[in-house]
Amino acid sequence: MSHAKNFFAGPSVLPLSVLEELQKDMVDYKGTGLSLVETSHRSPQYDEVHFKAMNLFREIWGIPDNFKILFLGGGATMQFSMIPMNFLSGGGSCDFTLTGTWAKKAYADATKLGKINVVFDGKEDKYTNLPDPSTLKASEGARYFHMTSNETIGGIQWKDWPETGDVPIFCDMSSDMMSRPVPFEKFGIIYGGAQKNLGPSGLGIVVIREDMLDKVNPDITAYLDYRIHASKDSLYNTPPVFPIYAMSLVLEKVKAEGGLEGVMKRNAEKSALIYDAIDNSDGFYKSPVNPAVRSDMNVVFTMANEELEKEFLAEASRRQMYGLKGHRSVGGCRASIYNSLPVEDVRALTDFMQEFKKAKS
Ligand SMILES: Cc1ncc(COP(=O)(O)O)c(C=O)c1O
């Protein structure tokens, strides 16, 4: 069976070897006679997988000991609610950077619970640009400073972080989690859905600095309370067993292939290949975003007209290159080139881009 090339934005590419291992162990997990997904989450078999995933996540990304790693249900969207419920209820305020669709979704939920200061809104540039982080300041009394590190739909990515003093940065890193080193000391919370760089969907990962737990709204219900999940190592209730299991296999592979350094090297190669293909196309392919903030994860590009884009997508599909259609809200094309996408698949795409351009010029 040939495996297609997967440029979907999420759920997205998983290593073929991980899919095969999941398939192999799905019915009989390591000779136990049961599948792991029908085994108690209190069993020694699951315990080993759960803590392996957590420990590898910390080790590979270099997360300091004063942060807890939480595995929660509800993906990243759950965190859009959970963060303000924990930190804004009771009249608190926070800062927000409005950088695109995802930041605005997080913002919409936060406005229901507290006062929000918008410190940047990219509306005028149609969310194709980001400010110099050194020009941003946190507001007096803000409980946190919210950012979206990579806008999956708009294809823009913060390359550096603002200096926010005592106000911790809370950041949605759904679509570039563990793709580069992060200065953890600036962050109070880093969160995201697993389904881009790490595993299947349905799993929300939250990296929370321990002192944040002292600031949680004490009247919150159990599942929404970060303190409960932190004190129970994310085993307060039944965790999303399957995505955590799959992620543990992805992380083992990442470690075997050079850890974060290896990821960064492959990602740099992939993004250079595709942006070079765009920039060297004499304007046949165009990137609508400011080159300084181009995403290394989601590459958006357009062509002269929609007809041409349709033809491109149809031919790409014929070649088993899937997921290249831009998000319905912005149109155009988008190649998501997450951590698990092989460099060869990006090379196949850029070869096709050149061929298509030649055929149409
Ligand atoms: C940046 C960003 N934030 C949040 C989400 C929502 O994630 P979930 O579907 O896991 O709730 C997505 C999903 O694509 C995303 O790209």
Which of 48-52, 69-73, 330-334 shows the lowest per-residue confidence on average (mean pLDDT)?
Answer: 330-334
Residues 16-39 have a mean pLDDT of 97
Chain centroid to Cα 219, Å, comes to: 30
Residues framing ligand 1 (Cβ under 6 A) = 10, 75-77, 102, 148, 152, 172, 174-175, 193
Amino acid symbol at 97: T
Query: For residue range 229-269, what is the model confidence (pLDDT) as tens digits?
Result: 999 999 999 999 999 999 999 999 999 999 999 999 999 99
Three-state secondary-structure class, residue 214: helix
* Cα Rg of the chain (Å, integer): 21
- How many A from CA of 348 to the centre of ligand 1? 27
pLDDT recorded at residue 1? 58
Q: Label residue 143 by pLDDT band (50, 70, 90).
A: very high
- CA–CA separation, 164 and 117 (whole Å): 14
Query: For residue range 83-137, what is the model confidence (pLDDT) as tens digits?
Result: 999 999 888 999 999 999 999 999 999 999 999 999 999 999 999 999 999 999 9
| CA-based nearest residue to 181, from 252, 263, 282, 293 | 263
- How many A from CA of 205 to the centre of ligand 1? 12
Query: For residue range 305-323, what is the model confidence (pLDDT) as tens digits?
Result: 999 999 999 999 999 999 9
* Environment class of 186 (CB within 10 Å of its CB; exposed 0-12, middle 13-18, buried 19+): middle
pLDDT score of 2 more than 80? no
For a mutational test of ligand 1's pocket, the pick from 80, 151, 170, 175, i.e. the residue with the most ligand atoms closer than 8 A to its C-beta, is 175
Residues 3-22 have a mean pLDDT of 97
Three-state secondary-structure class, residue 206: strand
pLDDT score of 44 more than 80? yes
* Whole-number percent of the chain with pLDDT over 90: 97
Q: Label each residue of 7-58 as H, E or C.
A: CCCCCCCCCHHHHHHHHHHCCCHHHCCCCHHHCCCCCHHHHHHHHHHHHHHH
